Structure 1
């Protein structure tokens, strides 16, 4: 074998890496993937009367579930007595490894408490796992009113053939799951379709065979509403049913061809794994040598801290002391917690000099991806400075602990003011300044800074407000550099469903116009004072974008405006509001080339001239309601979300509140 120190040796190693990278997409599912893509969640409409006791019992249940699910992929538990008793159930998909299962469960417990802090019942459904708790037993429940379907809005070119094929597939996996202890996967192809269709059916293990069958039949009815579309899920109390034109599971319980393919792939990977490992060791050793030459006194270099040390801006050369940050946040006490993102929790901290800061603590158990986010956020946000971007003050690492320190925003995030009890405090003047400030920040990122940066997760929760309610864009963990010589990036999908541009959600094609689309949704939320989805409203009003567009087509766009603004100021600037609504629709047009650049948006917002451009119908809206986000009333108000990176196969046009 050639020496690793020669150019020929390096070329030989690179060749093997290229061979590995050429393995088909479905092979990539062999890698660790906890499938932490939210399909749905729901909270009871009733709050506990004894939060202290109930919360403690729920915490005990989560601990008991964690002990068992890490070894079996399934667990039930209960804790407490009387009205404060809590029952819990957790289950992972059969094809997940135990490590991925544990990671999915941990994410589910974090999210369910965030969404439903004091409700007596809640459920959290990721693509990889399910978590539910109630104050009464529910283990044998197969169906209930809190069901939903989630669909991707891409119509097949052969809808009739596609529907028939998908129907056969769902019938097949449903039948096999009933006979196979509640789990089955399969795929089916048909002449005339450009791709195979993949299906998965899973029941909770507490259900009887008959109850499993009943639940899957009911889920089939939900999924059938998605037919002709690329991807569909049926979510019910006792089961999960899904089809997709892209492979999304690791194993197949019914296809021997998959087993053969898997064996071939394992053999290929086995032969190349050693080479890939040697290549990584070689690169790592070379990096260490270069780094030690620069910083000989450092024994365990960290990429993010190395970046800080090398940066020319002295204000960034400030790696905080871990103990001082721990003291500033009272040992990261829950009373100091002010927010949570896809990968980390945010705490208020008071430094020894009295300065208030925000400390973002990345989730340790997601070490690889959290580390990537840490380095990304450090590098990108420290490379830019703008009055409408949250300022990064420094960082700190301690083993797997990774902390980012930001300036403190006393008025928290925009979503808390828009959708919380304090929404009346936001006048139209304040809202317009937030809209304009966010546009300035995005224009700087996308077009004006020394790097072209795509944020990828613009939403109300990531717009922070300072003392004067000036907007500052935050959370750069998903941001990407956009090279000048490229028309788009093709990447795994990240961000928050509902704000995600269609071309990015469906095909992974990322440009600055994806941020423009997200901005348009955000503007509609600011103007209307409502979330982009509200299942409590009538069906025709549930989706903000569709409802607002229908009013716009009827020349009734002013009806989109938050009634509280008009009631507080009858002389409100009607023309300015209508202009902002028109800009929002220009930003959400289906074709990315029709959306304006953010610099143009700033120009339109600050100009007194009339906007001549007329928007086309926004993306994901059509006369047949192909958004396919149906909700049934019941004890649960269903909302669905996605946080963090996800593959195009798992991205859905779902409902979400985050």
Structure 2
């Protein structure tokens, strides 16, 4: 995990691995999105707009040497983290730099990533700020302070002997390679003898690398009786590893390069994310075109089967509310508590999985994208599921964290009504989908009629559900600026507050069959 270098970043929260030996058929476990990911790289770099005001040559040389030291020192620290400050007296400047690699990876891999970061950051010189991000490492320098002085690390001792003779460097490098090779051989033999079920290779992802044959055995040769779900992407199987641990194995059918990139994107993202409301990646396997993810096994499958599927009507109000809160907290973690903003961009009921005690976890990060802190949105090709996708994204490819907020609002409406977002209102022949139906009931102040008829709510629960319907409509407003952040949504959900007197803007209704757009607004008191 990356160091919480921003003072407002909270520590990651661990979560338990729910184990259950039951077998159930989950028809919609990991549904395939209705569109293909654009396969964009997860590597990002950016430079500031201001150049050094003094001697550009001296400044460039001094900062280059500083970044070189950061590059060399980071893989040598115990936690692969460095923060340092350098005074450039001749230029009357102070430069702050920070770097870190993902936890549990081999220092050699960290060094490789830091070399890439160094090359990208030096391209920014003589500008006074640069950033680099990859799923393996992060680095930044700036003349503007962005961490506390007490967070710095003395890197002088780490760099002793660093600038010795070229011959010593070569000999040391060769010796290091030989030593590393011997360590890997001994460790591999030890692991194979101790546990033939898996090999723990410290790959770029920092997770277990299972052999394809072991997973084939654990799923009974990917047998039909172990299938948890099917989709256009492939299949998900129930598997038992180490003779006792129940997991889900996601087997992808790779037909072109974009699907391979989507797989790699999902591995890189979720291997670095740990939160009680985000599905945990336990391991992976890549052998030719055979691409597998080993994930937590969620005993109750996907949320949609409890709303309009085989288990419809079995969730009580308290369970639905806790699921809503759980999804919201998972999104807050993606948007605000990671070292860079992650947009899921395919939040929907079939991508929400439920544990044996009905705790919600967001799954399927194959379409996730990164949004740099200094950008309000990302322009990209649409990839997601119509009905859940925000109008500005579905029509124009304008992607921001508010796209997830919109999708979350739609999922709330599904949870409260027990109806799918693309189902048309059955009360009258019309083109009203779920969002438009909810809005019209809200306009008439009768949105209590929107609540799932299978729920038997007392007066307090009815009032609570009505307030959350209003929060859902707040999340789906247009324009984008009207939508709250997910952090604000969590506060509203926990406080149970009513919107009161507020300018609620009418949502933009996207009709998927003919892609008609209806836009309007009114003041609601």
TM bucket by the smaller chain? 0.5 to 0.7
Q: Find the aligned partners of 2:201 and 2:481 in 1 and give their Cα distance.
A: 36
Higher helix share: 1
* Cross-structure match for 1:336: 226
SS of the residue corresponding to residue 605 of structure 1 reads: helix
> Does 2:362 correspond to 1:362?
no
Q: Find the aligned partners of 1:126 and 1:595 in 2 and give their Cα distance.
A: 25
Matched-pair contact (CA < 8 Å) for 1:540–1:547: no
> Does 2:203 correspond to 1:309?
yes
1:293–1:542 Cα change, 3 Å: farther
Q: CA deviation at 1:540?
A: 3.2
Residue in structure 1 matching 2:317, options 428, 435, 446: 428
* Cross-structure match for 2:42: none
Q: Find the aligned partners of 1:432 and 1:510 in 2 and give their Cα distance.
A: 28
Q: Find the aligned partners of 1:532 and 1:556 in 2 and give their Cα distance.
A: 19
* Cross-structure match for 1:605: 493
Q: Find the aligned partners of 1:307 and 1:352 in 2 and give their Cα distance.
A: 17
* Cross-structure match for 1:584: 472
Q: Find the aligned partners of 1:377 and 1:488 in 2 and give their Cα distance.
A: 21
Residue in structure 2 matching 1:462, options 340, 351, 365: 351
> Does 2:268 correspond to 1:379?
yes
* Cross-structure match for 1:515: 404
Q: CA deviation at 1:423?
A: 1.8
1:629–1:416 Cα change, 3 Å: same
Q: CA deviation at 1:339?
A: 2.1
CA deviation string 1:98-141 (max 9, x = no partner):
xxxxxxxxxxxx99xx99xxxxxxxxx999xxxxxxxxxxxxxx
Q: Find the aligned partners of 2:227 and 2:383 in 1 and give their Cα distance.
A: 25
Matched-pair contact (CA < 8 Å) for 1:419–1:529: yes
1:339–1:489 Cα change, 3 Å: same
Q: Find the aligned partners of 1:310 and 1:570 in 2 and give their Cα distance.
A: 52
CA deviation string 1:509-566 (max 9, x = no partner):
1100000010011100000000012258233374101111111101111111001113
> Does 2:330 correspond to 1:402?
no
SS of the residue corresponding to residue 430 of structure 2 reads: helix
1:126–1:575 Cα change, 3 Å: closer
Q: Find the aligned partners of 1:389 and 1:497 in 2 and give their Cα distance.
A: 23
- Equivalent runs, 1:282-297 vs 2, <5 Å: none
Q: TM-score, normalised by structure 2?
A: 0.59
Q: CA deviation at 1:352?
A: 3.7
SS of the residue corresponding to residue 437 of structure 1 reads: helix
Q: CA deviation at 1:383?
A: 1.1
Q: TM-score, normalised by structure 1?
A: 0.47
* Cross-structure match for 1:80: none
Residue in structure 2 matching 1:574, options 462, 465, 487: 462
4+ residue runs over 6 A deviation = 292-298
Q: Find the aligned partners of 1:367 and 1:447 in 2 and give their Cα distance.
A: 33
1:437–1:307 Cα change, 3 Å: farther
1:473–1:307 Cα change, 3 Å: farther
Matched-pair contact (CA < 8 Å) for 2:200–2:208: no
> Does 2:481 correspond to 1:593?
yes
Q: Find the aligned partners of 2:431 and 2:417 in 1 and give their Cα distance.
A: 12
Q: Find the aligned partners of 1:433 and 1:552 in 2 and give their Cα distance.
A: 23
Q: CA deviation at 1:373?
A: 1.1
SS of the residue corresponding to residue 396 of structure 1 reads: strand
Matched-pair contact (CA < 8 Å) for 1:367–1:400: no
Matched-pair contact (CA < 8 Å) for 1:498–1:653: no
- Equivalent runs, 1:475-624 vs 2, <5 Å: 475-535=364-424, 537=426, 538-540=428-430, 542-566=432-456, 569-571=457-459, 573-612=461-500, 613-620=502-509
SS of the residue corresponding to residue 563 of structure 1 reads: coil
Q: Which runs of 5+ in 2 are unaligned?
A: 1-26, 37-172, 185-198, 518-525
* Cross-structure match for 2:118: none
